[in-house]
């Protein structure tokens, strides 16, 4: 699933290449259940792209009508900018611009969605998410409050809970916990002062490292130009089950926590 670095990479690219463009038409292909309103194509026709924002893993396209197009990629969604016509069987929406270029929404699993909403609806959606970990609001005090709110929850699960911290998924929760030397199974209340500070520092650090190289393409993620991200070689634990830890040589383990996978080093993480 694209997480904060992947979605932010796409946001930055789209900000450079489609802001100012006018939508000529929108084609919806076998995706009616995942768009709102049903007449989305008609509502977007002749509108101009004013701005591209992000909240958590959600892309927000500000339109000249004053409305906002919310795009969530979920597990396998992709947004691909093109100047030539080339689709595939997973292309479910095509945004055609008046200059002949276009933006494809591909989604193999079809869990993603496109929703048009006004500013009031956008604010309601934004409030569903917690603090942005790359923002100034993500202070040590704020992070401690998150831990206090869910003292018995396993730290891996808490990092995944979008109501508390926005944009972190399986990849970066695993990598941040490794960087901080904390086992994913530990309850939040068990973390000592020094461990809390290490984890608070590790979260934005690992997100920034991935963002610098365009994110992690461990599955179907590609950026807006169809290119893979460069962070896979830098992964320490995620997706490396039974491989040697790059720090101590122990074998990386994988366990299930609340239905989600967690990768960790049994020696480096306590």
Name the residues annotated as catalytic: 2-3, 57, 260
Strand-strand pairing, 35-36 and 113-117: parallel
- Measured over the CA atoms of residue 194, residue 195, residue 198 and residue 204, the dihedral's sign is negative
The phi, psi pair for 171, rounded to 5°, reads -60, -55
The phi, psi pair for 98, rounded to 5°, reads -65, -20
Token pair for 204: 């934005």
- From CA 46, how far away is CA 236, in angstroms rounded? 47
- From CA 33, how far away is CA 51, in angstroms rounded? 26
Q: Judge contact between 199 and 191, C-beta under 8 A.
A: yes
- From CA 129, how far away is CA 57, in angstroms rounded? 10
Q: How far is CA 133 from CA 122, 130, 138, 143, 186, in A?
A: 20, 9, 5, 9, 21
Name the strand (E) or helix (H) holding 91.
strand 91-97
Q: Judge contact between 186 and 154, C-beta under 8 A.
A: yes
């Amino acid at each position: 699933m694209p997480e904060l670095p992947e979605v932010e990479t796409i946001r930055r690219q789209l900000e450079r290449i489609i802001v100012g463009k006018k939508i000529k038409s929108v084609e919806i292909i076998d995706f009616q259940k995942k768009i709102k309103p049903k007449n989305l194509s008609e509502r977007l026709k002749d509108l101009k792209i004013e701005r591209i924002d992000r909240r958590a893993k959600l892309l927000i396209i500000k339109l000249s009508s004053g409305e906002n197009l919310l795009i969530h990629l979920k597990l396998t969604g992709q947004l691909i900018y093109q100047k030539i016509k080339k689709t595939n069987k997973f292309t479910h929406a095509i945004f055609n611009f008046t200059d002949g270029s276009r933006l494809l929404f591909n989604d193999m699993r079809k869990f993603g969605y496109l929703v048009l909403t006004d500013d009031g609806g956008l604010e309601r959606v934004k409030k569903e998410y917690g603090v942005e970990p790359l923002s100034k609001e993500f202070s040590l005090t704020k992070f401690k409050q998150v831990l206090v709110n869910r003292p018995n929850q396993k730290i891996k699960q808490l990092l995944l809970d979008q109501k508390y911290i926005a944009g972190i998924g399986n990849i970066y929760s695993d990598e941040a916990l490794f960087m901080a030397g904390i086992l994913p199974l530990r309850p939040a209340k068990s973390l000592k002062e020094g461990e809390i500070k290490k984890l608070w520092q590790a979260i934005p650090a690992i997100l920034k490292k991935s963002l610098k190289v365009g994110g992690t393409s461990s599955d179907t993620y590609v950026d807006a130009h169809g290119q893979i991200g460069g962070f896979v070689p830098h992964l320490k634990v995620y997706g490396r089950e039974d491989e040697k830890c790059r720090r101590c040589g122990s074998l990386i383990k994988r366990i299930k926590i609340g239905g989600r996978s967690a990768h960790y080093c049994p020696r480096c993480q306590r």
